[in-house]
Structure formats: C-alpha cells, structure tokens
Amino acid sequence: MYYVAHRLFAAHDRLLAARLARVLAAKTGPDQVFLPFCDTDEEDLVAEVKGRRLFELDRERLGKLTAMIAVLHGPSLDDGVCMEMGYAHALGVPIVAVTTDFQTYSFDEDGPRFDFPDPLVQEVITDLVRVPRLGTSPGSTDTANSRYAVFASRNDRQLDQALETAVDHVLAQDVPRPPAPALPAGDATLAFVEQSPYTPVVGMLTALVQQAGWATKESSRFTAHDPLEAARTDLDRSRAAGLLVTDVSGPETPPGAALLIGAAAARGARVIAYYPRTVLTHASGREPNWRNLMIQYAAEARFANPESLVHWLRR
C-alpha cells in the first residue's frame, strides 16, 4: 500500500493530494493507495471520539505500507505529515518527499543549507523530488487577463511535473519489504529531550527532566556547527531512549519533534509533550485538539507548566 501524506485542512491542500493519488492509482490500482481524509471519510465520519478514531485508522494503514509520498511545502511543515514520516521511517518504509518550494533553509547566514527547515527531515527521507521552478509558458492567448491564465498554466505544469516525478520515484522503491521486526522501545531509564527551535532558553526542559531523576540525552542540531551530522546523532540517541519528552510549542509542532513522536509511537516508546501555551483547534463532529490529532493521540500525556511535568515524571 502507498500512503499519500499531506496537509489536509484546506481544499487546495486536499486537491493537490488528490491529484497525486490519482496519478499514483493509475499506475498501481486504486486499492493500493491510501489518501487520508478521503479514505477515512473524515468529513462525514461519525465516531464516539472522532479524532482518536481517525488516528487509529491512519495508524492501521501506516503499519501496512510499501512506500510513502510526503508532500512538504514551506517553513511550517505539517506536523501530522511529519509524525507519519517518523512512524514510517521507524518501520523501514521508503519515503519520497516532494516539494515545489523554491526556498532553502539554514540556521545562520553562512551555515549549511537544508531543503527543509529542520535537517532531521532530510535524515528520514529516502528520496527527494524538488521542482522549484514554474513550468514552461503555454504561449500567449487573446483572452482577457491572459497573463493570469498563463501564470496559472505554468503552476499547473510545475505541479504535474512534480507529481509525475514523485510517483516514478516512489515506484522505483517498490521492492518486497519483509514485515517490520519488533522494534525495541529503548532504555526505560533514559529520556531523550527534544528542544523546540522556538524556545529561547536552551536546556530548560532537560533540566526539568533531570530534576525528576531521569538520565537524559538532548537534541543538539539547532546549535551544532554541523546540523546535518547532529541530526543523525539526535535520531540515533532518540532511538535508544524509552521516553521522549518533547517541546511541541510553536504555530505547529516543530517538524523534528513531530518526526520523533511518530518514530517513538512506532516502536512503542513513551511520549510526553510539553506545551506551555495551548491553542485548541475545532472541527465539526470532532473533539477539540490541542495539536494535530496524530500528535495528540501518540502522546501519553501533555503538560503546560513545569511543576506538573516534574511531578508526573517522578511517579
């Protein structure tokens, strides 16, 4: 099964994903493609706890994948997509990322550049399809506002090229994949602490976890001289820990934090979220979510103040 991971809260995002799923299904058969929101009937689904049911349906598919295509655009990557990528990566599933974003990113003006705002994203993808430029012009027309029609056409051509190329790349990953082995949950006495890139006080969260009596390792890529090498180290250290304590502050859960939450969920490690300021999202028929539902239901607990976090960790 091929999983199309995409941002799904607005019509244009769902339309882009549907175009990708249609191209993929034409080459593999529709029964081989899973498109979230569409294939979980999210708008009309009725369940006692709708968000949790959607989480369960998505997680069920994540455990059966041949490969994943992840649509990634912009500096604020969708945290649900990043969580799904981390989950797939932990299970050894090939991940092809596709983007038409013309921006690259770095932590300072002279530092190394990344295709995504967190170098950890590049550590978990198998292949990248990057189509940053508009498509060729179809030629002038005589219709009113022709420049807008030409501009729209060039964007369409850019998207078509990106989606077709991404499908070709994901099908090239199509090799028999044995069932994922039982993944070690990690050292039950060790916590990996994922700092937020938006947190001004580095080390504060680690100090709280140590105060509660835990041995810790912490993420280092946001301040490292070589962020890509540090991202590899962060990923390795996170795998060794039985507890992930992550700051999910920001407009969305930071991409790396979401990836690590997905990977921890796949291997059965415990996940604790620290989120000092809550902004709830609401959708018809669904319980309020304090983050993307893939983050919310992967986490065992969430804490908004340091005292509650330390108290819980001491239990």
Question: How far are the Cα atoms of 35, 148, 241 from residue 31, in angstroms, in the given order?
Answer: 11, 37, 37
Collapsing DSSP states into helix, strand and coil, what is residue 119? helix
Please give the helix or strand (H or E) that residue 229 lies within, else none: helix 227-240
First to last CA, the chain: 41
Number of C-beta neighbours around residue 176 at 10 A: 5
Placement of tokens 């937020």 in the chain: 196
Residue 133 CA, distance from chain mean position:
24
pLDDT digit string, tens, across residues 263-281: 999 999 999 999 987 788 9
> How far apart (Å, rounded) are the C-alpha atoms in residues 91 and 113?
28
Total-model pTM: 0.94
Tell me: pLDDT of 179 over 70: no
Collapsing DSSP states into helix, strand and coil, what is residue 117? coil
Tell me: pLDDT of 138 over 90: no
Tell me: pLDDT of 12 over 90: yes
Question: How far are the Cα atoms of 24, 25, 81, 168, 222 from residue 172, in angstroms, in the given order?
Answer: 12, 15, 22, 6, 33
Q: Measuring CA to CA, which residue among 11, 5, 146 is closest to residue 87?
A: 5
Average of per-residue pLDDT across 98-119: 93
Residue 72 CA, distance from chain mean position:
9
Q: Measuring CA to CA, which residue among 292, 301, 300, 303 is closest to residue 83?
A: 292
Tell me: pLDDT of 145 over 70: no
Asked if 116 and 72 count as a contact pair (C-beta separation under 8 A), the reply is yes
pLDDT band at 176 (very low <50, low <70, confident <90, very high): low
> How far apart (Å, rounded) are the C-alpha atoms in residues 287 and 22?
31
Asked if 125 and 70 count as a contact pair (C-beta separation under 8 A), the reply is yes
Question: How far are the Cα atoms of 22, 115, 134, 160 from residue 106, in angstroms, in the given order?
Answer: 34, 9, 23, 28
Asked if 34 and 2 count as a contact pair (C-beta separation under 8 A), the reply is yes
> How far apart (Å, rounded) are the C-alpha atoms in residues 291 and 299?
10
pLDDT digit string, tens, across residues 24-61: 999 999 999 999 999 999 999 999 999 999 999 999 99
Say what the pLDDT of residue 143 is: 59
Chain-wide mean pLDDT for the chain? Answer: 92
Say what the pLDDT of residue 158 is: 97
